[in-house]
Structure 1
Amino acid sequence: MSFWNWGFLLFILFSLNSSLTLSDSDPITQQQLDQVSSLPGQSFNLDFSHYAGYVTVNEESGRALFYWLTQATEDPASKPLVLWLNGGPGCSSIAFGMAEEVGPFHVNKDGKSVYLNPYSWNTVANLLFLDSPVGVGYSYSNTSEDIRSNGDKRTAEDALQFLLNWLERFPEYKGRDFYLTGESYAGHYVPQLSQAIVRYNKANTGSPINIKGYMVGNALTDDYSDHVGLFQFMWAAGLISDQTYKKANELCDKESFIHPSPECERITDIAYDEMGDIDAYSIFTPTCTGNGVTKRLRRKWHRVGHIGQSYDPCTEQHSIAYFNLPEVQNALHAYHFNSSKTWVTCSGVVGMYWQDSPISVLDVYQELISSGLRIWMFSGDTDAVIPTASTRYSIDALNLTTISPWRAWYEDGQVGGWTQKYEGLTFVTVRGAGHEVPLHKPKQALSILKSFLAGTSMAPFEQVIESKIDSASQQVNSF
């Protein structure tokens, strides 16, 4: 290498080191460094800014969580901040929430480019994705043992620390209305993090986190209710035999979803063998064939929060290709990732070594309902992992007073699902959606978010009629 090339290399290293040193003491500078100018395979212009990078949550062990913020498409300063978390435990919010569900950037079939999602949740809010805990997606730790010692408690603690540190980097969001959302095993993450925030706010006056509420979809909530509802759904849908249904209820009714007994796991394997090669996360849509995905999902069914398939059942494969591209990682400032050195949608190591997982978070719900948070639960009704029946049993166990009885809600003149409002909680089902509601029914999912943020009920049939009358009147008046 010539002297000029060595000098140029030293200049780049010095500049990078100076930037990193400056950013350590200057959060605003780090915000500027985190801005994403463009994505590989992006053939369109944007009307919003987005940022991606790392926030250290534990200096001693070197734990750092990866985030991706997409600001609202219109007037972001007036919009709330919404955090999205995927579950697993061990699955990436970038892989699923961003790339195939609620995010603005979805990955094309070529695995090399992206397109804009017209039903992205950043059309109504500033949308923050977090790969949590360490070992998931691009998030990492300098202490390798951290990857094998994750659990619910530390995940909530690290996520709280992330928010506090992130708000120092993005002070314009301090005090902004803040909501948490997620699905599946985020049925633990979201209420537990909400609880941690509420308790932190009580102990720290003037907290920068202005939490208003949370919403979870097809959420793992209570192991007993989730098991009872699961096998009831399988049997009622004609997926399993009478004998397996009875045996599963006997062997699994008191079992952990994350660490089931060998007996419960064996009868569950039998149940999924009886189902055949269908996608348990969306029983009426086609599977992604030819790559072993279906078999793997059936054998790892209890690692909930994984894939829900839609018209393109291979969306996960597109993400795997895209987020492993070096140019994509450079664009997102993702210079570290999990111990495999390969980006994966869900970490088997994180899931395998998961530590504490309480059998129920209903006690957390009771505490947070009393605190006055706005709490919504939604459920795709074709999911055979955490089905609608499971969520209904969990809600029933809370013994809440009904405010508005069970009724249909509408989208584009058609039944979008059903809803019931309780004192302290609203439940919404989505007709024809699987485990990942925003993947299967993106427009309906966006409508749910809008109603949740506004604190209004889902549209009843009367509103549909009024909307049609107004539309007809406008057409008449235009003549």
Structure 2
Amino acid sequence: MDNIVLKLSSHTLVLLLFLSFEPVVSSRHRQYWGHGKKLMSSGDNSDLVTGLPGQPQVDFQHYAGYVTVNETNGRSLFYWFYEAMTKAEEKPLVLWLNGGPGCSSVGYGATQEIGPFLVDSDGQGLKFNNFSWNREANMLFLESPVGVGFSYSNTTSDYEQLGDDFTANDAYNFLHNWFLKFPSYRTKTFYIAGESYAGKYVPELAELILDRNKDMSLHIDLKGILLGNPETSDAEDWMGLVDYAWSHAVISDETHQTVKKSCDFNSSDPWHNEDCSQAVDEVLKQYKEIDIYSLYTSTCFASTANSNGQSVQTSMKRSSTMMPRMMGGYDPCLDDYAKTFYNRPDVQKALHASDGHNLKNWSICNNNIFNNWGDSKPSVIPIYKKLISAGLKIWVYSGDTDGRVPVLSTRYSLSSLALPVTKPWRPWYHDNEVSGWFEEYQGLTFATFRGAGHAVPCFKPSNSLAFFSSFLLGESPPSTK
């Protein structure tokens, strides 16, 4: 997931997001795939993953390795790609991005949320995810920018330039060079999806593709974007965070009233107001007592080291960096297990991240990237307008128990678009139960997931797969039982 660190330094709050979580599939839902499927077998065979420790038997191919995005600087991004479980040649390609900035899409999205293999609780193996999104699409996970996960640059100055634009350009170059490895996917229908701070990554990359598609030799068949609990617009995100904390009894009436009275989140520096700064400090202080990413689940109290080498308890008290975890048997300490798994020599060798001897130091989030992030657009709402005008499909969803990018933040941000409603607010169903509510606008669909935290697929794996399927099919989520 992405780690979110809430910084208030010299009363300058940086609204950047991480996220993480671990989907765990009960044993009665696990299944291992047999034989006889038609495979595309169109990838770079040198990147084909074989002998991955603890991997369940499956009947699709998957690839991992590096794509160079800048030859001069020696800048390379790491990816993990899973062909669709069935009829891969007929299904679209979806790029998934986690945010941070600084967190791994491999460590979170691929092996805690929506990929076919989930890191097991001992950090030594993998379990099959019966609700993997590669049931419906060919799934590509990217560790971006350099410094995240296994991605790297041989030029140290690259790490001093990291920001939104840098990341979008490298991701764009990655795609074109990846298509050289996988030419049969170049003309496929393409979507971009992501969570949290990827709420900025995804539309920014989509805009770049849209602009450069004017050169038909560079054309990518982008059809839409899918965003979960996304950071969208700083002012609205902060207002939503505070209002949500108050409406869910995390903060007092007095703190809420002080924020409403003294904070102008639309100003370039709302923190110059001391009353505002202290009130927001109080909001963050109260959230450190629980899991801001999942209001109603437990936090990790293990004494084992987390991904930053600190004890988990210390990290929780100091910066609330641990991500939300799941109800119903989910382990709130899964980040530790991911670190154990991806730092194994045999795992790195199988994923072509190292030769098995000269190990890479993999961490699920890189706090140096987060703390030194260069440019962050205050709002991507103007990009939404541009993408809507271009006819791209945009779906946004919110787990309604997330306090970090709460449903109110997203509703406030989207309301600024002032889009005409085409189908009014109503429940959507999965397995004959209300899964959430949704509304359709001219150019955009917004939906909630009832009882889900920041990384929705971890809380609602079956529901999120059904929702993803509706998105790809261009159908409304089921509005009847």
- Sort the TM-score into its range (normalised by shorter chain): 0.7 to 0.9
State the AA in 1 paired with 2:71: E
1:316, distance to aligned residue in structure 2 (A): 1.1
Q: Structure 2 unaligned runs (5+)?
A: 1-40, 304-310
Equivalent residues in 2 for 1:130-169, closer than 5 Å: 130-169=142-181
CA deviation profile, 1:41-72 (whole Å, cap 9, x unmatched)? 22x31111000000011111111100000000
1:270, distance to aligned residue in structure 2 (A): 2.2
Alignment of 1:33 with 2:46, yes or no, is yes
CA 1:298–1:101 in 2, change beyond 3 Å: closer, same or farther?
farther
Greater percentage in helix: 1
SS at 1:410 equivalent: strand
Alignment of 1:416 with 2:429, yes or no, is no
Contact 1:139–1:336 (Cα < 8 Å) also in 2: no
Contact 2:354–2:360 (Cα < 8 Å) also in 1: no
CA 1:214–1:297 in 2, change beyond 3 Å: closer, same or farther?
farther
SS at 1:98 equivalent: helix
Contact 1:57–1:65 (Cα < 8 Å) also in 2: yes
Aligned partners of 1:81, 1:182: CA distance in 2, in Å? 14
1:145, distance to aligned residue in structure 2 (A): 2.1
Aligned partners of 1:206, 1:142: CA distance in 2, in Å? 30
Contact 1:227–1:253 (Cα < 8 Å) also in 2: yes
> For residue 128 of structure 1, what is the aligned residue in structure 2?
140
1:402, distance to aligned residue in structure 2 (A): 0.2
Aligned match for 1:183, one of 195, 208, 212: 195
> For residue 248 of structure 2, what is the aligned residue in structure 1?
237
Aligned partners of 1:62, 1:199: CA distance in 2, in Å? 26
Equivalent residues in 2 for 1:258-273, closer than 5 Å: 267-273=279-285
> For residue 30 of structure 2, what is the aligned residue in structure 1?
none
CA deviation profile, 1:64-87 (whole Å, cap 9, x unmatched)? 100000000001000100010000
CA deviation profile, 1:65-113 (whole Å, cap 9, x unmatched)? 0000000000100010001000001110011101110111101111010
State the AA in 2 paired with 1:377: V
> For residue 472 of structure 2, what is the aligned residue in structure 1?
453
Structure with higher Rg: it is 1
1:256, distance to aligned residue in structure 2 (A): 7.8
CA 1:174–1:287 in 2, change beyond 3 Å: closer, same or farther?
same
Equivalent residues in 2 for 1:386-425, closer than 5 Å: 386-425=405-444
Contact 1:140–1:336 (Cα < 8 Å) also in 2: no
> For residue 192 of structure 1, what is the aligned residue in structure 2?
204
1:254, distance to aligned residue in structure 2 (A): 3.4
Aligned match for 1:220, one of 221, 231, 248: 231
CA 1:116–1:431 in 2, change beyond 3 Å: closer, same or farther?
same
Q: Structure 1 unaligned runs (5+)?
A: 1-27, 465-479
CA 1:396–1:372 in 2, change beyond 3 Å: closer, same or farther?
same
1:29, distance to aligned residue in structure 2 (A): 10
State the AA in 2 paired with 1:422: Y
1:447, distance to aligned residue in structure 2 (A): 1.1
State the AA in 2 paired with 1:178: F
SS at 2:246 equivalent: helix
Aligned partners of 1:112, 1:266: CA distance in 2, in Å? 45
Aligned partners of 2:387, 2:43: CA distance in 1, in Å? 34
> For residue 370 of structure 1, what is the aligned residue in structure 2?
389
CA 1:300–1:164 in 2, change beyond 3 Å: closer, same or farther?
farther
1:137, distance to aligned residue in structure 2 (A): 0.6
Aligned match for 1:439, one of 450, 458, 465: 458
CA deviation profile, 1:335-363 (whole Å, cap 9, x unmatched)? 299xx952111101111110111110000
Aligned match for 2:298, one of 282, 286, 292: 286
Contact 2:399–2:406 (Cα < 8 Å) also in 1: yes
CA deviation profile, 1:389-410 (whole Å, cap 9, x unmatched)? 0000111000100000000001
Aligned match for 1:309, one of 306, 325, 335: 325
CA 1:349–1:279 in 2, change beyond 3 Å: closer, same or farther?
same
Q: Percent identity?
A: 46
SS at 2:291 equivalent: coil
Contact 1:223–1:256 (Cα < 8 Å) also in 2: no
> For residue 62 of structure 2, what is the aligned residue in structure 1?
50
After TM superposition, the score normalised by the length of structure 2 is 0.84
CA 1:261–1:89 in 2, change beyond 3 Å: closer, same or farther?
farther
SS at 1:195 equivalent: helix
Aligned partners of 2:186, 2:446: CA distance in 1, in Å? 30
Aligned partners of 1:251, 1:122: CA distance in 2, in Å? 44
When structure 1 is superposed on structure 2, of 68-77 and 237-246 the one drifting more is 237-246
After TM superposition, the score normalised by the length of structure 1 is 0.85
Alignment of 1:333 with 2:352, yes or no, is yes
> For residue 289 of structure 2, what is the aligned residue in structure 1?
277
How many equivalent residue pairs?
A: 427
Contact 2:42–2:182 (Cα < 8 Å) also in 1: no
Contact 2:302–2:313 (Cα < 8 Å) also in 1: no
> For residue 14 of structure 1, what is the aligned residue in structure 2?
none
Contact 2:60–2:83 (Cα < 8 Å) also in 1: yes
Cα RMSD (Å) of the superposition? 2.3
Aligned partners of 1:295, 1:237: CA distance in 2, in Å? 26
Aligned partners of 1:276, 1:165: CA distance in 2, in Å? 42
CA deviation profile, 1:428-467 (whole Å, cap 9, x unmatched)? 1000000000011111111111010001001012xx2xxx
> For residue 38 of structure 2, what is the aligned residue in structure 1?
none
SS at 1:426 equivalent: strand
Alignment of 1:173 with 2:177, yes or no, is no
Aligned partners of 2:119, 2:161: CA distance in 1, in Å? 32
Aligned partners of 1:148, 1:252: CA distance in 2, in Å? 31
CA 1:256–1:171 in 2, change beyond 3 Å: closer, same or farther?
farther
SS at 1:106 equivalent: strand
Contact 1:269–1:298 (Cα < 8 Å) also in 2: no
Contact 1:152–1:356 (Cα < 8 Å) also in 2: yes
Aligned partners of 1:262, 1:352: CA distance in 2, in Å? 23
> For residue 468 of structure 1, what is the aligned residue in structure 2?
none
